Structure 1
Amino acid sequence: MPPSALSTSPEEPVTLRERKKQRTRRALADTAVTLFGARGFDGTPLDALLEQVEVSRRTFFRNFRSKEDVALTAVKQLWDAYLEAVDAAEKSGPLADVLLGAMLATLEHMDEDWYRRFPPTLRLVADSPALDGHALRHCAEVQEELVRRLGVPDRLELRLLIEFFVAAWHCTLDEWLPDCAPGELPALLRRSFASMTSALTLEA
């Protein structure tokens, strides 16, 4: 599991040391979203976050790679879980259904902590060009990883399918963000996904 990830499972780590590390990561991620949301990501130095959580730089960098990394915890947590869901999915039938099913399974297993942190994280990304660029790079890395893991011979068609899926996901988030009701996100994703075919046949 990458340093930026937080468990979405209700199970706690076994050892006291692991539980302490989990609490530190969660405190950093929670405080980052609140602090950056109040002061702005670009205008808030990393030291302000460390002061709030009362941890050293050494402790921070044992858990996260950068200020951008901690701010995007919820985003990276989602895509880490999604890649695992894709690996676990039965690879039969249309790959579009596999991609959709894996995201629906991912959303089902995300906990309340994630659903609380995810909307303000998206708003941070929207308000910060630097953070938006970091998020786009991470999304591109996930797409490349999907191409590698799915291993379909026709890479062009697979890349197009993944691009369509990611576009549908982003459109879903645009629809979801005003209210951010957790139960509505899967239904909105299904609707966006179902609209892809008709969208490709739109006429001027």
Structure 2
Amino acid sequence: MTTSDQPATLRERKKLRTRQALADTAVTLFGERGFDSTPLDALLEQVEVSRRTFFRNFRSKEDVALTAVKQLWDVYLEVLDGTKKSGPLIDVFLDAMLTTLERMDEDWYRRFPLTLRLIADSPALDGYTLRHCAEVQAEIARRLDGQNRLELRLLIEFFVATWRCALDEWLPDCVPGELPALLRRSCSSMNSALSLSFPA
């Protein structure tokens, strides 16, 4: 959650605290014991919540483990909706992600690197992440309806690839202020990357 999205009512704040406790404990517990080898009940015992409470907040063990990833893309879609649609689309995509990163709070920047390491260590979680990413890409294309479908899909794929390359460079140190610069560099390298060829 971003700092501007604090809930107003006591009930909403209590629900948020439960979600945050589950998300924080999940990345720590799964990081220590392994995502695939840690049952959901171990998380529930740590946080002292029932299965019913858990499933009111999350759909699955994968869902809670990927809280930081889903927060990022939820905010990104909101930012993209409010972004002025003019100029090259790649610039629109980049500016929206840079704005998104500015909106993420310290708690997110602490949890996100832990989440990335969980994904890297778990084939099951990696597969779940890829499915979620595909859903986000389809949603971006849907919201930008009217563009050439094939070209738009390719551009979204290219942008997501530049994002992943920036994340690869960001790990393992994960200094929060370095990620925007790495993303800018990754995006600026796209054209030269597409023109690469074998030596004559």
Structure 1 length-normalised TM: 0.96
- The structure 1 residue matched to 2:56, chosen from 55, 62, 82, is 62
- One-letter identity of the residue aligned with 2:2: T
Structure 1: distance between partners of 2:10 and 2:108: 23
- One-letter identity of the residue aligned with 1:169: W
- One-letter identity of the residue aligned with 2:153: R
2:14 maps to 1:14: no
Runs ≥4 residues deviating over 3 A = none
Structure 1: distance between partners of 2:146 and 2:93: 13
- The structure 2 residue matched to 1:95, chosen from 83, 86, 89, is 89
Q: Which moved more, 1:150-159 or 1:104-113?
A: 150-159
Instruction: Confirm or deny: 8 A CA contact 1:152 1:158 kept in the other structure.
Output: no
- One-letter identity of the residue aligned with 1:120: L
Deviations 1:128-147 (A, max 9, x none): 00000000000000000011
| Aligned residue-pair number | 198
> What are the equivalent positions in structure 2 for 1:1-204 lying under 5 Å apart?
7-10=1-4, 12-204=6-198
Q: What's the CA shift for 1:12? A: 2.9
Structure 2 length-normalised TM: 0.97
Q: Report the aligned-residue RMSD.
A: 0.8
Structure 2: distance between partners of 1:50 and 1:175: 34
Q: What's the CA shift for 1:8? A: 1.2
- One-letter identity of the residue aligned with 2:17: R
Structure 2: distance between partners of 1:186 and 1:14: 31
Structure 1: distance between partners of 2:171 and 2:77: 23
Q: Percent identity?
A: 79
Q: What's the CA shift for 1:153? A: 3.2
Instruction: Confirm or deny: 8 A CA contact 1:50 1:60 kept in the other structure.
Output: yes
* SS of the residue 2:3 aligns to: coil
Q: What's the CA shift for 1:10? A: 4.7
Unaligned runs of at least 5 residues, structure 2 = none
* SS of the residue 2:126 aligns to: helix
Instruction: Confirm or deny: 8 A CA contact 1:37 1:124 kept in the other structure.
Output: yes
